[in-house]
Amino acid sequence: MSPSVAPETLAAVHQLYGAQSHLIDGGHARDWALTFTADGEFVSPSYPEPVTGTGALTAFAERFAAEARARDEVTRHVLTNLFVREAGERHATVEAYLQIVTTPRGEPSRLVRQTTITDDLVHGDGGWRIRRRVVRRDDQPQ
Amino acid sequence: MSPSVAPETLAAVHQLYGAQSHLIDGGHARDWALTFTADGEFVSPSYPEPVTGTGALTAFAERFAAEARARDEVTRHVLTNLFVREAGERHATVEAYLQIVTTPRGEPSRLVRQTTITDDLVHGDGGWRIRRRVVRRDDQPQ
Amino acid sequence: MSPSVAPETLAAVHQLYGAQSHLIDGGHARDWALTFTADGEFVSPSYPEPVTGTGALTAFAERFAAEARARDEVTRHVLTNLFVREAGERHATVEAYLQIVTTPRGEPSRLVRQTTITDDLVHGDGGWRIRRRVVRRDDQPQ
């Protein structure tokens, strides 16, 4: 249920996820893309097809920022319930809840969407990165 | 205020709480019950009396899942503000905030309830488990 | 992007932030103030000017509690996306998201405000404390 994970591994994974939302929400599109491997995949029912590779992931994050600016609102990816389901030396599986919270200028904040993410991680020269993320939306249960 | 806790202990506790919500929300009733000790107690003002022991906790989690299915909605236990108030070799006290977030199929997500939990933990052969959880609801302050 | 931080440092920082919201939300005004240094600063657009020093921070937290009691509601500081952006031996920079969630007695809980915090920390005899906090509100983007 709660597999033993080395404190060093858990610290590195918590930092990866700690950084990630700040990067996309703060408009650092390429740095967000680099939390994924060079061939990283982002699979979400909110988008017509998977986004794959650093270039496409960067463009995806830039579109996200541009659309928020166009609507004059701030969107946050609120991450909770981070769980390292399994972790070896080079591979790990991570689950978390991810809420989308949007605030139009001068208006109340709103919980737009509750999702879960299941990520495959690999460990390389740059530390832990996400090889594949699968997003599931609570409003579209399977 | 922020007592020093060994990184190994904090990692194990973070993993226990990381796992727990995914277990009950994902329908793994018995595995959720096993995050409590064999004589574990769950005390909440949302239910008429305490739930005690692995069998009763499993049945409790099964009912939770069945009711969500019957309403065709997904409910998440969103855990934040995890704090290990004190930790010895075999006993620990943990506090956290726990939100109930529900999403009916095809509809917006909704924050149903904000609660706090105060847990007594014991460390045994299976690692850290919850001996007693007390839930307090913010809409019923004392 | 996700700088390597020693597990001991990350554990201490997670505990500091784990404790902090429980302290102000639970009415422990002076203990909350002591999560800041003696000359600690709290800078927020929700208040007319910065709050500086243990005495002023304590009075600030006491007012927060008194106002919540007067309105017969419970307010929580829900902290997520904790990220240690950089950490040396004596200085660290930390970012997080901080939601204000309020629950009037007998009524539903409500997400009042989504903010981000950027904190400068220093390490002294009492462990890590906050030297300066800057709050930004999502409804007042810059």
| DSSP 8-class letter at B10 | H
Terminal alpha carbon distance of chain B: 23
The answer to whether the CB atoms of C111 and B111 lie below 8 A apart is yes
Question: Are the Cβ atoms of A1 and B34 closer than 8 angstroms?
Answer: yes
Query: What would the pLDDT profile of C69-128 be if each residue is shown by its tens digit?
Result: 999 999 999 999 999 999 999 999 999 999 999 999 999 999 999 999 999 999 998 899
Q: Residue C104: is it exposed, middle or buried by C-beta count within 10 angstroms (0-12/13-18/19+)?
A: middle
Q: Is the Cβ pair C112, A111 closer than 8 Å? A: no
- The SS3 of residue C58 is helix
Q: Each residue of A118-140: pLDDT tens digit? A: 999 999 988 999 999 999 999 99
Cα distances from B31 to residues A13, B20, B135, C70, in angstroms, run: 24, 9, 20, 43
Of A11, A16, A79, the CB nearest to C7: A11
Give the model confidence (pLDDT) of C4-31 as tens digits: 799 999 999 999 999 999 999 999 999 9
Q: What are the tens digits of pLDDT across the range C33-84?
A: 999 999 999 999 988 899 999 999 999 999 999 999 999 999 999 999 999 9
Cα–Cα distance, B68 to A98 (Å, whole number): 20
- Mean pLDDT value across residues B5-20: 95
C-interface mutation test, from B114, B117, B118, B140, most C Cβ less than 10 A away: B114
Cα dist. B19→A4, A68, B123, C130 in Å?
12, 33, 17, 30
In sign, the C-alpha dihedral spanning C8, C9, C13, C19 is positive
Task: Name which of B4, B7, B84 is nearest C18 (Cβ-Cβ).
Answer: B84
Amino acid A82: pLDDT: 98
Q: Do B4 and C19 touch (CB under 8 A)?
A: no
Bridge partners, C84 (sequence order): C94
Q: Reduce the DSSP state of residue A116 to 3 states and report it.
A: strand
- Give the DSSP letter of residue A75: E
**DSSP 8-state secondary structure symbol assigned to residue B47:** S
| Residue type (1 letter), B106 | G
Output Rg (C-alpha) for chain A, integer angstroms: 15
Mutation for C interface: A71, A74, A81, most C CBs within 10 A: A74
Cβ-based neighbours of B112, under 8 Å, separated by 6 or more: B75, B99, B100, B101, B102, C108, C109
Give how far Cα A95 sits from Cα of A61, B15, B50, C117, Å.
21, 11, 30, 25
Measured between beta carbons, which residues in chain A are less than 8 angstroms from residue C1? 16, 19, 23, 31, 34-35
What number is the average pLDDT over the span B77-102? 97
Q: What is the pLDDT of residue A134?
A: 98
Reported as a pLDDT band with limits 50, 70 and 90, residue B3 is low
Average of per-residue pLDDT across B44-51: 92
Q: Quote helix, strand, coil % in chain C, to nearest 5.
A: 30, 45, 25
**Which token pair is C41?**
């600063």
Other beta carbons within 10 angstroms of residue A35's beta carbon come to 25
Residue type, C94: V
What is the C-alpha separation between A83 and C2, in angstroms, rounded? Answer: 17
pLDDT in tens, A78-116: 999 999 999 999 999 999 999 999 999 999 999 999 999
Mean pLDDT of chain B: 95
Q: What's the rounded Cα separation, in Å, for the pair C135 and B126?
A: 42
Answer whether C128's CB lies under 8 Å from C16's CB. Answer: yes
The DSSP-derived string for B79-101 is EEEEEEEEE-SSEEEEEEEEEEE
Contact indicator for C79, C87 with CB cutoff of 8 Å = no
DSSP annotation of B2: -
Burial class (CB in 10 A: 0-12, 13-18, 19+), C87: buried
Residue C1: pLDDT over 80: no
Q: A17-62, pLDDT tens digit by residue?
A: 999 999 999 999 999 999 999 999 999 998 889 999 999 999 999 9
Nearest CA in chain A to C111: A109
Return the ∠ at Cα A82 (arms to C2 and C120), rounded to 5°: 45
Q: Are B12 and B127 in contact (CB under 8 A)?
A: yes
Max CA-CA distance within chain B? 47
What is the ipTM score, two decimals? 0.96
- C49 burial level (CB within 10 Å; 0-12, 13-18, 19+): exposed
A1, B23: Cβ pair inside 8 Å?
Answer: yes
Chain A positions touching B104 (Cβ under 8 A) are 139
- In this prediction, residue A72 carries a pLDDT of 96
Report the neighbours of A using a cutoff of 3 or more CB pairs below 8 angstroms: B, C
**Rounded CA gap, C93 and C95, in Å?**
7
Which two structure tokens, joined as six digits, stand for A102? 């949007």
